[in-house]
């Protein structure tokens, strides 16, 4: 028997997910919650869940906040995040915050079930390709979920420093001089930054960093 908690604020979407999840096993018990606070109330009374499946964009308490609390209070329960925002920084942040997997809402039902089976077997599921949500679509989400630290979106300390100086308008040569690096090394870090943010240019990286509200306060 599998016991699962589905946390999704859209009723029709939640009902569809529940119907799909019943295909995972001959006997599946599913509890439902419309937001993070309701999910935590259920977990407080029932801890014997095999999996929590949670959306990110929810009212009252968003998925990032709920994920953080669940991982701290119920570390034995794996959490799979499902979201329409499947850009690389979001996926990286979710996994770094302790989720056992990230499932894009663009997935088919069969693909979603395969991902959940992988997670239930104890693996970390991360999509190998994403639909790369547009930067403009990220802005309101970033404001709702607060600032993020560079490491949460997959940046090393040095990459965070390079990006912070990019945000100040410094050229690669100026960044190299300030960080005591070669210009070639700065270019290597820039390429890694672009990959982490899912962008292809310095301008797009600066827009993405602003959209995600990356906190550079402690990078130096």
Over residues 85-109, the pLDDT tens digits come to 888 888 888 988 899 999 999 899 9
| Interatomic CA distance for residues 169 and 163, integer angstroms | 10
The crossing angle, in degrees rounded to 10, of helices 88-96 and 63-73 is: 20
Write down the domain spans for the chain. Answer: 2-120, 135-211
Domains 2-120 and 135-211 share a fold: no
Q: Is 9 helix (H, G, I), strand (E, B) or coil?
A: coil
Contact assessment for residue 111 and residue 97, using Cβ atoms and an 8 Å cutoff? no
| Interatomic CA distance for residues 189 and 168, integer angstroms | 16
Q: Can you give the pLDDT at residue 51?
A: 96
Q: What number is the average pLDDT over the span 53-60?
A: 88
Q: Which CATH number fits domain 2-120: 3.90.950.10, 3.40.50.150, 3.40.50.2300, 3.90.280.10?
A: 3.40.50.2300
Q: Can you give the pLDDT at residue 138?
A: 41
The CATH class of the 135-211 domain is mainly alpha
Per 3-state DSSP, the chain is made up of helix, strand and coil in percentages (nearest 5) of 50, 15, 35
What backbone torsions phi and psi does residue 101 show, to the nearest 5 degrees? 180, 160
Over residues 168-216, the pLDDT tens digits come to 889 999 999 999 999 999 999 999 999 888 888 888 888 888 888 889 9
pTM confidence score: 0.69
Residues of the chain above pLDDT 90, percent: 58
Q: What number is the average pLDDT over the span 4-9?
A: 95
Q: Can you give the pLDDT at residue 129?
A: 55
Q: Can you give the pLDDT at residue 203?
A: 84
Contact assessment for residue 19 and residue 30, using Cβ atoms and an 8 Å cutoff? no
Which residue, 126, 128, 130, 142, is CA-closest to 106?
A: 130
């Amino acid at each position: 028997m599998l016991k699962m908690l589905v946390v999704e604020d859209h009723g029709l979407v939640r009902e569809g997910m529940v119907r799909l999840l019943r295909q995972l096993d001959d006997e599946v018990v599913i509890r439902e919650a419309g937001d993070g606070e309701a999910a935590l109330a259920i977990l407080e009374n029932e801890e014997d869940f095999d999996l929590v499946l949670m959306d990110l964009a929810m009212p009252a308490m968003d998925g990032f906040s709920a994920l953080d609390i669940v991982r701290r209070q119920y570390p034995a329960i794996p959490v799979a995040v499902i979201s329409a925002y499947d850009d690389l920084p979001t996926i990286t942040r979710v996994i770094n915050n302790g989720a056992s997997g990230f499932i894009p809402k663009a997935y088919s039902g069969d693909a979603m079930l395969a991902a959940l089976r992988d997670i239930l077997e104890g693996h970390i599921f991360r999509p190998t390709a994403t639909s790369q949500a547009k930067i403009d679509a990220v802005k309101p989400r970033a404001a709702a979920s607060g600032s993020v630290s560079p490491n949460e979106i997959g940046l090393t300390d040095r990459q965070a420093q390079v990006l912070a100086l990019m945000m100040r308008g410094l050229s690669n040569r100026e960044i190299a001089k300030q960080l005591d690096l070669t210009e070639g090394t700065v270019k290597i870090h820039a390429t890694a930054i672009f990959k982490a943010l899912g962008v292809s240019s310095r301008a797009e990286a600066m827009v993405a960093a602003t959209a995600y509200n990356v906190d550079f306060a402690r990078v130096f």
